[in-house]
Amino acid sequence: MKIMQKWIMAFILAALSITCLPHLINAEEQALDLQAIINEARTGSTIILPHGIYEGPILIEKTIHLKPRSGEEVAILNTSNQPAILIMADDVALTGLIIKDEQLKKQPTVLIQGDGVLLDQLHIHTGSFGIQMRKANHGQIQNTSIAWAGHVPERPVKLSDKGNGIDLYESNDNTFIGNTITSMHDGIYMENSDNNLIEENHFELLRYGVHCMYTKGTVIRNNVGNLNITGAMIMAARDVEVSNNTFTKQSENVNSQGILLFDAHGTSIVNNHVEGNRVGLYVEQSTMNHIKGNTMTANFIGIQLLDAENNAINSNQFIGNVASAEARNSVHNQLEGNYWDSFQGIDLDGDGRSEISYAINPFFQSLIKAKPGFQLFFQSPGMVFLEGLYQSQRQLWSVDASPLMEPSDQVRFIVPTQTLKHSAAVGAGLLSLAIYLIYLGVKRR
């Protein structure tokens, strides 16, 4: 009886797998013409590609899942001026492919025009845009790497030659998780695209890591940016969340900053760590933003406020910056309970907050707005002295009413520390040489 049951079960399972499960095509016998394989595939099927180099461009007009056979390497090589892969259908999935598309051109390497597309573990080498999404919603791009691979003949590559890593236009509700984007123009560029989630990505050597233009409801969380011109560029955007990101060493360019808000309203900038940038957090012409719990360490300027009004700036820590804060023409901001290491407060009632307020002197910013040539005086001894003298219209300054006396938790520094041994060795050498010279000088013949 038991044997009979087993046979029946096996028969049912076999029948189910033939009728219900997506159709599996073994592409091994086919030529390396991937387009032909896709054309022959049924909608909803999964195509498993064996090891090999397949020719682009590829057009996908039906829902399929494309992936390499387990453990094998599948590369798609495109030398045409068309996108290496153009996805026009919904719910297409691409997994584990290597895409080499090193031509300099206008068309992107992957162009997505369908909804619900999944790109997972792709490796894209591009001479154009990495991935473009046009009116593509509810998609997901994860664990994918995008790097610039284009060569411009007879001159070095300029930033303007490059396309964006991921470029969205009118594409909403997409998710980008765990991607690594390097040496492109912008990492993820969003225009007129709302409610996209950007999480745990890595951005390096780009112009802007994340760039929002005319977006609503973008969430930028747990990302890492290093050596870009700007980590997160939030422009003309509303209700953006930027939280728990780390942006370091964005200091090479005269326009570098960790996080930039321009014409941004109602965004929340929370618990980010911004270290070693030209300006940690740059806020211009932005209102109603919540800036809370961020750590700005070792930047040239911790926070810079220009024409920024009605923002709430609380519980941030400014440590080891050359200038903690600069501000110009920024009124009605609510600054409270931040820690400024350059400020010595007095705590009379023992609540951990200073009774003396910390006011941000607007002199330098106003000066260089009128005459940029004087920017050379940034934090020079004479300029610090002059700022101390300048006290006019104090009621219009940005003021932290109750700055913290101590940093709220252990300050962490991310930029790698090396040993102090070497400078100690040089110091010891200097010291012994100096003492020997003094000895020679004072000894009697």
Partner 1 sequence: MIQTVHIAIREIKLGFRNPWAYSFMGLFALFMLCLLMINAQGYVQGYSGITGTTLNLILYLLPLMSLLLGSFSLTAEKEDGSWELLSVYPLSTLSFIIGKYIGLAIVLLVIVSIGFGAAGILGYVAGSGFGLSTYVQLLTFSSTVALFFLAIAILLGTIAKNRWQSLTIAVAIWFFAIIGWPPLLIATLGFMPYPMIKPAVTLLTFLNPAELSRLFTVVKLGGGAILGPEYYEWIKWIRQPGGSFGFAAVVLVWIGSVIAAAQLVWERRRLRG
Residues found near partner 1 in the complex (CB under 8 A): 251-256, 276, 278, 297-301, 319-323, 341-342, 367-368, 371-386, 411, 413, 415, 417-418, 420-435, 437-438, 440-442
Which lies closer to partner 1 via its Cβ, residue 152 or residue 428? 428
Least Å distance, CB 434 to partner 1, is: 4
User: What tokens does 98 get?
Assistant: 């290597």
Which lies closer to partner 1 via its Cβ, residue 352 or residue 429? 429
Contacts of 259 by beta carbon, 8 Å cutoff, 6+ apart: 230, 231, 232, 234, 242, 245, 247, 269, 272, 274, 280, 281, 282
Least Å distance, CB 29 to partner 1, is: 58
Which lies closer to partner 1 via its Cβ, residue 45 or residue 256? 256
Least Å distance, CB 341 to partner 1, is: 7
d(CA 223, CA 220): 7
Least Å distance, CB 328 to partner 1, is: 15
Least Å distance, CB 184 to partner 1, is: 21
Which lies closer to partner 1 via its Cβ, residue 214 or residue 262? 262
Which lies closer to partner 1 via its Cβ, residue 396 or residue 424? 424
Which lies closer to partner 1 via its Cβ, residue 17 or residue 380? 380
User: What tokens does 408 get?
Assistant: 């709220």
Which lies closer to partner 1 via its Cβ, residue 71 or residue 373? 373
Spatial CA neighbour of 251 closest among 278, 271, 221: 278
Least Å distance, CB 443 to partner 1, is: 9
Least Å distance, CB 53 to partner 1, is: 42
Q: Within a 10 A sphere around the Cβ of 84, how many other Cβ atoms?
A: 27
